[in-house]
Each structure stands twice: as structure tokens, then as C-alpha cells.
Amino acid sequence: MPTTPTFPGVYIEEIPSGVRTITGVATSITAFVGWAARGPTDRAQLIQSFADYDRIFGGLDVRSELSYAVSHFFANGGQQGYVVRLDNGSQSASATAAGLVVTATGPGTWANDYKIRIKRRVDDATRFRLEVLLDADPDVTVEAFENLSMLETDPRSAASVINNGSAIITAELTTTNVPIDGETDLAGGVDGAPLQPDTPNFHTALNADGTNTGGVQRLTRVALFNLLCVPGETDAPQIGFLQAFCRGQRAFLIADAADDASFDTLSDVDSLDGLTGNDSINAAFYFPWITAPDPRQENRLRQFPPSGFVAGLFARTDAQRGVWKAPAGTEASLTGAAGVTRILTDGENGTLNVKAINCIRTFPIFGTIVWGARTLRGNDELGSEWKYVPIRRTALFIEETLYRALKWVVFEPNDEPLWAQIRLNVGAFMNDLFRQGAFQGKTPREAYFVKADKETTTQSDINRGIVNIVVGFAPLKPAEFVIIKIQQMAGQIEV
């Protein structure tokens, strides 16, 4: 605001520079959807390590492809994810002590192993301590909450304190009666039948309606996710649904081939029917399944869907090289993999590659690696501009970053000063990416452009409250085919 001079002297005004630093969003936050025996079912749960998954969802479970996929993700370089637990008629354990009703934070039999212990204060009969114990070790207190009250208006209301502080139980007050001293078991928890992609109720749970009542729709409420895995899901209509969901969220689907798929079945001309529509630019398809030791079965080899491994590889590649680097090649080794369920020849790999099927292969020295980086729109016959995974993911990264970073533009005066600020800030962001090697070109002019001026925003647009920003970039395309030409040098005749 301009200074109003009132006395003789020197006045200082600080003038805004118009610089608003744009920071790129994360690129490999991975959402996993599937069945687990434990954990919340009312939200997408943030996890930042497999230890988090172990604590909240119960760790590895031979009935749950989800649990192994999450383990493979973190083992291969994943750092952050969300888990959506699908429910199948499970029930939560509960216990009642006077007017205090406690219920497990998630359905399942796991909570039947817990109990609560009430201890009233000696000096104040209206206050009490609540402890959460394990039946197997009642001498060890798992959680404890002191100085609780049965009054909703009290700052130490039992419901408020427990609901905000416990990872195991929630509380409801039905009366103001203070519970008497004693122990009460949690009971009534039921797992429900395990859900797998080939079971009837799985797709019902996965495809919850648009009111965010469950399934993959839970992810619409999280701040950001970039990758989606539904381990073992191979049904074409469901993959099509997930592709469309990802495109709406500016996310990318990692799709699994069927566990019994082979070169013969996938090389058939109709093998990807229903998977290569317009939304398939936001998905990639991986074959075959991977063999790896199972810690829950004495480390005997077992086959697993590749999506968890591949998601971790995406995260590792993003961190080491950037989202513009193809998550494939000799650097793309899969940690924890012992091999693959189908051995492919170079010729078979070539046949599948041009059909947009990313093959996983085992090579001497390099081990089990990803040997393909095409989206499901990457069939040579389609000629899509979004043929390659890194190009599509780079575009999604730029879109999401600018979508979040340009909210300050809303309600600003729509004229040249605003357009200049936009060009300055978006140009600085794009130039930073150019310096990191994200684009083709020797100079910024060859690598990208940012336009926001009277050519992109006409007077008609201004009248309708619209500012048009056009951003273009020259993507780096992976060197998918390296051709070495060798020629014998003819002997020279001296004269």
C-alpha cells in the first residue's frame, strides 16, 4: 500500500517482486487397495513404512495379496503410500463398562485379543484411568489414558481423549455413570471371508459409488496420490474402471497380467481387449508374475503380482533420476525377486513390447529387471503421443504441480501484469526442470515454452473471467532400440 507522507523526511516502501516459487509435487505416493484382516475401513490410511502397515493392518498375511504388495513396494524404494482396506462382512469387537462403550478401530477378530481395565481415582470418584491390555500378556499395558471423565463437556472427556489418542479403540459415552474397577474383554470381532480379485464380492467392494462410501473412492479424499495398485486385479472391465478413475485424479495405474497368462495368450490380437481405450494413457501393464520367498511360509518361493515391486521401482527411479527417467533397464532390478513365472526370449519380448505389454525378465548379472516402459496406449499401431510411461508421468507431474501452484491467480485482475507474473513463475519452474535434464533441447527455447498474453487470453475470455496459460515441453523419449552399425574397413592400397 502506498505510503501517505505527513512529515518531511525519507519514506521506505517495499515493492513485491511478483516471484512465487513453484515447488514440484511428489511423484510416487502409491495407493494400495485390497483385503486385510485388520485396520480401518472408513478411510485411506497413510503409511510411511512397512512397520506402519504391520502396526495398523497386521503385517504379512498369506490370505492377502495386498500385504505382500506393500512389503515389496517399500523393499524396492517406496517411501509413502495409502492403504484402502476392503471390507467383506467383517464386524468390530466391542466392550461395555457402565456407560462407556469401546469399539475396536477396525473390524476383525484381531481385537478379540484385547481387554480394557478400569481404575478409579482414590481421591476423586468421578475420574478414572483406562488401560488397554492384551489377553496374552495382561501385565503389559498397551495404551493408558489418565484422569478421564464421563462428562461430554469435561476437557478430559473419555470419548474425546480416547478417540483422539488410541490406535486400538474408540469410545462412546451412553450415560454419565463412572465405570467400576475391573477388566472387560473385547469380543464379537469377525474377519469376514478374505477378498481377492477373483471372488464375487471383491469388485463390489472395489467399485463403491461416487459418494465416497468405500472402495477406491476413498482416495478422492486424500491430499495427493500418484500411483495406484490393486494387487492381482486382472479383470478387463475393472482395469478399465481403474484407468478412468486414475485419469480423473491425475494418477497412474500399475496393472497386473493374470497369474496364468503366457506368451501365447498375450500375443493373441485380442488379448488386451477393453484395456487400450482413451483412459489407458494413465496405465501400464506388466507381465509376468514374480517369484519371491514368502516369509510366512519358511521362505519358500511363491508367485506374486508384479505391481507392488514395480511401484517401488517407480519411486526409486523418481528419487534417483527423476520422473522423466523410464523405470526400466539394467538399473531397474527388483529387490527381493527370485525370478519370474514365465521365461521369455528376445523374440517373444519383442512381440509383446509393440503391443504395450511391459515384460519383466531375468538376466545374468542384472537379476530380475523391468524391460519395458510403455503405457497401455503404447501399441505401435495407435501412434499415441503418450506412448511411453515417463512422458505421461512427466506431464502428470507438471499438471498437478501447476494446478496446485497457480491457485493464487484466481480473482486477480486479468491483465498484462498478471500474465507477466504467470510467465515469470511458471517459466522459472520449467527452467529448473530443464536444468535437471527433464526435457529435450540444448536451450530453454528448444525445451519448453510458457505463454500467457493477449494471444492466449482474448477480450472475450477476460469478459468471462478466464485466463489461458499454455505450457509446452519437449519430452525425453527413452532409447528403446539401440542400433549399432558395424562396417568392415577395406584395406588401403598404398600408392
Q: For residue 251, give the nearest of 283, 275, 276 by alpha carbon.
A: 283
Instruction: Give the sign of the dihedral formed by CA 430, CA 432, CA 434, CA 438.
Output: negative
Q: Cell for 81?
A: 503410500
Which residues make Cβ contacts (< 8 Å) with residue 242, sequence separation at least 6? 216, 228, 230, 233, 253, 255, 283
Q: Let me know if domain 94-185 sits in CATH 2.60.40.4290.
A: yes
Residues 6+ apart with CB under 8 A from 407: none
**Burial track 268-299 (b if 16+ CB lie within 10 A, e otherwise):** eeebbeebbeebbbbbbbbbbbbbbebeeeee
Split the chain (495 residues) into runs of 10 and give each run's mean pLDDT.
Answer: 82 84 96 93 95 94 96 97 91 93 93 95 93 91 95 95 94 94 94 85 80 81 97 94 96 96 90 90 97 96 97 98 96 96 96 96 96 95 93 96 94 94 95 95 94 94 94 88 70 57
The rounded distance, in Å, linking the Cα atoms of 342 and 336 is 17
SS3 state at 255:
strand
CA nearest neighbour of 329 among 363, 357, 300, 299 = 363
CATH code matching the domain that covers 30-87+197-390, chosen among 1.10.10, 1.10.150, 3.40.50, 1.10.3470? 3.40.50
Q: Which residue has the cell 520422473?
A: 323
Per-residue H/E/C for 181-222: CEEEECECCECCCCCCCCCHHHHHHHCCCCCCCCHHHHHHHC
pLDDT at site 494? 58
Q: What are phi and psi of 312, to 5 degrees?
A: -65, -40
Q: Do 288 and 343 form a contact (C-beta atoms < 8 A)?
A: no
User: What is the residue-wise DSSP string for 369-398?
Assistant: EE---B-TT--TTT--TT-BHHHHHHHHHH
147: left (phi over 0), alpha (psi -120 to 50) or beta: left
For residues 446 and 440, give the distance between their C-alpha atoms in angstroms, rounded to a whole number.
7
pLDDT for residue 282: 97
- Say whether 312 sits in a helix, a strand or coil: helix
**Distance separating alpha carbons of residues 241 and 356, to the nearest angstrom:** 19
CA-angle at 61, arms to 51 and 64, nearest 5°: 110
* Chain-centroid distance, C-alpha 470: 28
| CA gap 233, 307 in Å, rounded | 10
- The residue assigned the cell 497386473 is 256
pLDDT at position 225 is 98
**What is the pTM for the complete model shown?**
0.91
Q: Residue 270 has what pLDDT?
A: 81
One-letter identity of residue 40: P
Contact 183, 131 (CB under 8 A): no
Nearest to 196 by CA among 386, 66, 371, 368: 66
**Quick one: which of 317, 335, 336 has its CA closest to 326?**
317
Extents of the domains making up the chain: 30-87+197-390, 94-185, 423-495
What DSSP character marks residue 97? E
Q: Are 394 and 323 in contact (CB under 8 A)?
A: yes
CA 97 from chain centre, in angstroms, equals 40
- Residue 239 near residue 229 (C-beta atoms within 8 A): no
CA pair distance 9, 241, nearest whole angstrom: 69
